[in-house]
Amino acid sequence: MKKILYLILALCYCLLFGEFFVRLFSPAPLLPRYVTAAPYGIRINVPHAHYWQTTPEVQVQLRINSQGIRSDLEYTYDKPKDQCRILLLGDSFFMGYEVDLTDSFAYLLEQKLNAEGVPCQVINLAVSGYGTAEMLIALEQEGLKYQPDLVIFQWHITDPDDNVRSALFRIKDGELVRLHSTYLPAVKLSDWLSQFTLYRWLIENCQLYAALRETAAARIKSFLASLRKRQGEAAISKTTAAESPNLPQATEYALRLSTRLLQEAKRISNAHQAQFCVLEIPDRLGRTKFRSHITEFFTPQLRQELQILTPLPMFEATSSPALKLYYEKGHFHLTPEGNRLLTEYFGSELKKAGWLNH
Amino acid sequence: MLFNSYIFAIFFALFLPLYVLLRHRLQAQNLLILIASYIFYGWWDERFLILIMISTVTDFVTALGLVNQKPSLRQGLGLTAFLLLGATLLSLRTWDQTAWTLIPLFIFVAGGWFLHRYLMTLEDHTRRKAFIFVTIITNLGLLGFFKYFNFFIDSFQQSAALLGWQVDAVTLNIVLPVGISFYTFQTMSYTIDVYRGQFQPTRNFIEFSAFLVFFPQLVAGPIERASHLLPQFQRLRVLQWDAIRTGTWLCIWGLYKKIVIADNLAPLANRIFTDPSAASSGELIAAILAFTFQIYCDFSGYSDMARGLSRMLGFDIMVNFNLPYIARTPTEFWRRWHISLSTWLRDYLYISLGGNRYSALLTYRNLMITMLLGGLWHGAAWNYVLWGAYQGFILVLYRLFHIDTWIAQRQSSLVVQRLQDLALIAIMFILICLGWLLFRAPSLQVIGTFIAGMNSLEYVPQLTTVAFYIWPLLTYQALQLWRGNLEPLTQVPWFLRFNVQLFVVYSLLLLASKGGQQFIYFNF
């Protein structure tokens, strides 16, 4: 009995030491993610979830409505009269991680359009961790029910890998085909754990837990990515590899898959009388250095066809050593300033394109 | 197979139970070490195993020849089969490209057999000279070809071009076999020791080849001496809990030095050394400091892991680093840094050249030659030669001013002596850092940019990064110094030991570099 007591005490000491260590030497952002399984086999935000995100730079509350949307409002499927609707599909950037709701891209865009006399609802179906494959399924299964006039897919450098890893789709004989019916990584486990108050307290307050989970997840993610890439390599046709000789084969396959997913999303959107575009979140290299991958990844014809937009020139022109467009001690999401700039850029592109003119 | 890789963890997890299982059977255990070591080395490139095998056979046979013995007929056939196995491994992947190597191998075996028969007929003194000549030519020949061939050809071409001659020389696409400098020096020391009558050669080929390729220290040392390591292959190793415990800690500590300190400092040093022209004075200083600790932690981390793994298996291998950055003089630095190489160079080169037995001028010459060749041992590039020359120069300089003698004979009070020591350590540390600049810089132009650019002392954030990663190392070294023990945790209260170990384990889990780097000394 005494030995067991000592063991428990030692374990508690080790954990306390670890928490102290992380807070002192390697502060970990606390960015809990409450997701659960949607009936259509992918993740959605847990309805009615209210939780805090804390990083060394910011503390924000995330409030999810009954439809799994980060919003304080509820939306009907039927579009209100004399209003247009924009549907956002993306990951944590579009969902507005690390910023208040009022500083998120969805909220700012809606405010901007309404202020400019274009009454519009922006419905944000973004879920942290989504890749293009999940966005496409969410669009088909849920998004189109909202009768959008414009569908915006977020694009980020992580998407090609995410699309291969999720294995929801693959390219077979040049065609996009559904591979697995579900992609719910660790969702069952997190659903079960989330029942416990202690677990919820841990993920919102314990930096040691956050740091260890992140380290483990990064290692598993890179391991899975390497496995899936190898599988993907087999599916690449020699012709495609010859078209883009500068890219590694696995990246080439991932990009080809991503392109097909975007093309499919555009086809479905257009078939439902909605315009379609892709908005890139540039990669952050430094406070004043950013990188866009779209010119590297997509041909000019594809960029034209899919309406791929990047705010890179505006980010570069506006950035300065004193201005943070991305957070630097969390998960490098856009700051309120970054979201504002993105909104400004997209608003001007929207006007130029005239997608909502009708 | 890197020590800090998952594949090595799997390899060792498979190896250890087998090793324990064979703990009462010496020959079988040695054979297991031999096979495991070949798998460990062959993981990089199995084709290079033939080079180790050639060195092994050559030194086994010549060492016996030095004491007028020869392998039995059965052993001779076994050695031939052994070499054929190496040739098969060489040809496995690309038979059509490498099958031709069987011809020189056949010439090597047949020629070796005839040469051996002839040398054994010679009188004692001549035979001994001839055998040592054969072993040096073979080992240095392989090392010279694989490591220095292109370097000397290129240098010759460039020198000729400076004189206005155009020389069309052949350069080959030669891949440097991992660790060739380490195992070549280890095998040569065995034969030279036998030649000098300091060591009796073994007739057991398995124990000799296992000694030569013992995987914990095969690719980056320490360069062991036969008199120390070979006897450990000749007796049953006792696996003790205490050795396993302390060996595991040495491995963890070595891993910490490598993946937390060295690998996290590497990107900082690499970035500034790649383009120093854009860096400020403070950044240049930070880059040199980062590399100073990167190279130390990278190499000594490997040595710690090698010692730890060996200890777990019941072996004791030599200490390779003993707090080198608290050296007061260059002589002391070389007694603390890469001890196995510096003692090798001292015993087999410096002393053979005459050491300090003759005039001061000859001693300086011997020091310069030894350090120049020591520099060249690190790699086939002029910056290593320059670094060697620099080390030789500061050794001569300190000797010229009799600083080591003054330290040994000074009569001042203890406090004054400690203050003097601090000043000497600080000066020596700056000299060491300058040495690493020569070692790391890819060109003379970069060295020039650094020297011209380091014109003021200023704070830059990179200095905080360096300090963040090295303070635990410095604290641990202060403990080592205070306890007078390189493994001080055995002498401190359990609670302190427990906290240090927790700190290191958490650092490995949370602060380890994301992008793993190969060990620097694998290239040497």
What would the DSSP string read from start to end of A221-251? HHHHHHHHHHHHHHT--HHHHHHSTTS-HHH
Contact yes or no for A265/A136 (Cβ under 8 A)? yes
Whether B339 and B460 map to the same domain: the answer is yes
Whether B202 and B215 map to the same domain: the answer is yes
Whether B289 and B164 map to the same domain: the answer is no
**Which residues of B are marked as active site?**
378
Host domain of residue B20: 6-237
Closest CA to B188 of B144, B129, B135, B131: B135
pLDDT digits (tens, 9 = 90+) for B76-111: 888 888 888 887 777 766 656 666 667 777 888 888
* Cα–Cα distance for residue pair B510/B524, rounded to 1 Å: 31
Nearest to A26 among B502, B503, B510 (CB): B510
Provide the pLDDT for residue B469.
96
pLDDT digits (tens, 9 = 90+) for B274-327: 989 889 999 999 999 999 999 999 999 999 999 999 999 999 999 999 999 999
CB–CB contact B503 A21 (8 Å): yes
Q: What per-residue string of b and e applies to A84-105 under the rule 16 or more CB within 10 Å gives b?
A: bbbbbbbbbbbbbbbbebebbb
User: Of A12, A15, A17, A221, which to mutate for an interface test with B (greatest number of B Cβ within 10 Å)?
Assistant: A17
Tokens representing residue B30 in the block: 């040695």
Whether B141 and B128 map to the same domain: the answer is yes
Bridge-partner residues for A288, per DSSP? none
pLDDT digits (tens, 9 = 90+) for B222-277: 999 999 999 999 999 988 899 999 999 999 999 999 999 999 999 999 999 998 98
Ranges A199-213, A238-252, B137-151, B251-265: which has the least confidence: A238-252
Q: For B417, list phi and psi in degrees, rounded to 5.
A: -60, -40
* Cα–Cα distance for residue pair A133/B470, rounded to 1 Å: 44
Give how many domains chain A has, as a whole number. 1
CB–CB contact A17 B499 (8 Å): yes
Whether B80 and B101 map to the same domain: the answer is yes
On whether residue A184 sits in a domain, the answer given is yes
CB–CB contact A26 B503 (8 Å): no
Query: Is residue B371 within a helix (H) or strand (E), and if so which, with residue range?
Result: helix B360-378
pLDDT digits (tens, 9 = 90+) for B498-515: 999 999 999 999 998 876
Which residues of chain A does B507 touch, with a Cβ-Cβ cutoff of 8 Å?
21, 25
A68's torsion region: left (phi>0), alpha (psi -120 to 50) or beta?
Answer: left
Q: A residues 181-220 near B, CB within 8 Å? A: 211-212, 215, 218
On whether residue A306 sits in a domain, the answer given is yes
Nearest CA-CA distance, residue B505 and chain A, Å: 10
Q: A residues 217-256 near B, CB within 8 Å? A: 218
Tokens 């992609």 map to which residue?
A: A183
Band of residue A239 on the pLDDT scale cut at 50, 70, 90? very low
Contact yes or no for B194/B135 (Cβ under 8 A)? no
Whether B289 and B225 map to the same domain: the answer is no
Mean pLDDT confidence for A244-265? 78
Q: B459: buried, middle or exposed (CB in 10 Å: 19+, 13-18, 0-12)?
A: exposed
Whether B255 and B206 map to the same domain: the answer is no
DSSP A149: S
Coil vs helix vs strand at B474? helix
Whether B174 and B223 map to the same domain: the answer is yes
Provide the pLDDT for residue A235.
46
Q: Percent of chain A scored above 90 by pLDDT?
A: 73
Which residues of chain B does A218 touch, with a Cβ-Cβ cutoff of 8 Å?
514
Nearest CA-CA distance, residue B506 and chain A, Å: 7
Q: For B246, list phi and psi in degrees, rounded to 5.
A: -70, -35
User: Of B256, B499, B500, B506, which to mutate for an interface test with A (greatest number of A Cβ within 10 Å)?
Assistant: B506
Span between the terminal Cα atoms of chain A, in Å: 77
CB–CB contact A212 B514 (8 Å): no
Band of residue B517 on the pLDDT scale cut at 50, 70, 90? low
Mean pLDDT confidence for B130-134? 92
Contact yes or no for B489/B497 (Cβ under 8 A)? yes
Provide the pLDDT for residue A237.
39
Q: For A277, list phi and psi in degrees, rounded to 5.
A: -150, 165
Host domain of residue A64: 2-353
Helix, strand, coil percentages for chain B (3-state, nearest 5): 75, 0, 25
* Cα–Cα distance for residue pair B397/B399, rounded to 1 Å: 5
Band of residue A173 on the pLDDT scale cut at 50, 70, 90? confident
On whether residue A100 sits in a domain, the answer given is yes
Contacts of B132 (CB under 8 A, 6+ apart): B62, B66, B191, B192, B195
| Strand ranges inside A150-220, DSSP E | 150-155, 169-172, 175-178
Would an 8 Å CB–CB cutoff place A22 in contact with chain B? yes
Band of residue B494 on the pLDDT scale cut at 50, 70, 90? very high
Position A223 pLDDT exceeds 80: no
Domain limit, last residue, from B197, B220, B237: B237
Nearest CA-CA distance, residue B326 and chain A, Å: 27
Query: Is residue A86 within a helix (H) or strand (E), and if so which, with residue range?
Result: strand A84-89
On whether residue B197 sits in a domain, the answer given is yes
Contact yes or no for A236/A256 (Cβ under 8 A)? yes
CB–CB contact B506 A21 (8 Å): yes
Position A299 pLDDT exceeds 80: yes
Bridge-partner residues for A169, per DSSP? A178
User: What is the Cα Rg of chain A in Å?
Assistant: 21
Contacts of B274 (CB under 8 A, 6+ apart): none
Would an 8 Å CB–CB cutoff place B509 in contact with chain A? yes
Q: B residues 428-487 near A, CB within 8 Å? A: 468
**What is B294-350 written as a DSSP string?**
HHHHHHHHHHHHHHHHHHHTT-------S-GGG-SSHHHHHHHSSHHHHHHHIIIII
Mean pLDDT confidence for A30-50? 94
pLDDT digits (tens, 9 = 90+) for B182-227: 999 999 999 999 999 998 999 999 999 999 999 999 888 799 999 9
CB–CB contact A21 B514 (8 Å): no
CATH number, domain at A205?
A: 3.40.50.1110
On whether residue A358 sits in a domain, the answer given is no
Pick B367 or B173 by higher pLDDT. B367
User: What is the Cα Rg of chain B in Å?
Assistant: 24
Provide the pLDDT for residue A244.
43
Which residues of chain A does B502 touch, with a Cβ-Cβ cutoff of 8 Å?
14, 17-18, 21
Domain limit, last residue, from B215, B237, B259: B237
* Cα–Cα distance for residue pair B156/B159, rounded to 1 Å: 5
Q: For A86, list phi and psi in degrees, rounded to 5.
A: -115, 135
On whether residue A339 sits in a domain, the answer given is yes
User: Of B505, B510, B513, which to mutate for an interface test with A (greatest number of A Cβ within 10 Å)?
Assistant: B510
Q: Looking at this predicted complex, what is its ipTM? A: 0.76
- Whole-number mean pLDDT of chain B? 89
Whether B47 and B185 map to the same domain: the answer is yes
As a three-state string, the secondary structure of B488-502 is HHHHCCHHHHHHHHH
Provide the pLDDT for residue B442.
87
Tokens 């890197």 map to which residue?
A: B2
Band of residue A14 on the pLDDT scale cut at 50, 70, 90? very high
Provide the pLDDT for residue A347.
95
Contacts of A290 (CB under 8 A, 6+ apart): A282, A283, A284, A312, A315, A316, A319, A325
Would an 8 Å CB–CB cutoff place A27 in contact with chain B? no
On whether residue B1 sits in a domain, the answer given is no
Contacts of A11 (CB under 8 A, 6+ apart): none
Q: For B117, list phi and psi in degrees, rounded to 5.
A: -60, -40
Which chain A residue is nearest to residue B506, measuring alpha carbons?
A18
* Cα–Cα distance for residue pair B329/B338, rounded to 1 Å: 15
Bridge-partner residues for A54, per DSSP? A30, A59
**What is B87-136 written as a DSSP string?**
HHHHHHS-HHHHGGGHHHHHHHHHHHHHHHHHHTTS-HHHHHHHHHHHHH
Pick A226 or A111 by higher pLDDT. A111
Contact yes or no for A95/A104 (Cβ under 8 A)? yes
Whether B297 and B373 map to the same domain: the answer is yes
Give how many domains chain B has, as a whole number. 2
Q: How far is CA A337 from the centre of its chain?
A: 19
Nearest to A215 among B468, B503, B509 (CB): B509
Closest CA to B505 of A343, A59, A215, A193: A215
Closest CA to A281 of A139, A88, A29, A44: A88
Ranges A220-229, A340-349, B139-148, B352-361: which has the least confidence: A220-229
Q: For A177, list phi and psi in degrees, rounded to 5.
A: -130, 150
Nearest CA-CA distance, residue B293 and chain A, Å: 19
Instruction: From residue B151, give the alpha-carbon distance in Å to each of B144, B156, B173, B362, B382.
Output: 10, 8, 12, 29, 9
Whether B165 and B103 map to the same domain: the answer is yes
Nearest to A26 among B499, B502, B511 (CB): B511
CB–CB contact B510 A22 (8 Å): yes
Nearest to B510 among A14, A17, A215 (CB): A215
Q: A with B: how many residue pairs have Cβ under 8 Å apart?
A: 26
Whether B64 and B115 map to the same domain: the answer is yes
Domain limit, last residue, from B207, B237, B267: B237
Tokens representing residue A177 in the block: 């085909």
Instruction: From residue B398, give the alpha-carbon distance in Å to each of B55, B404, B405, B409, B431.
Output: 39, 7, 10, 15, 12
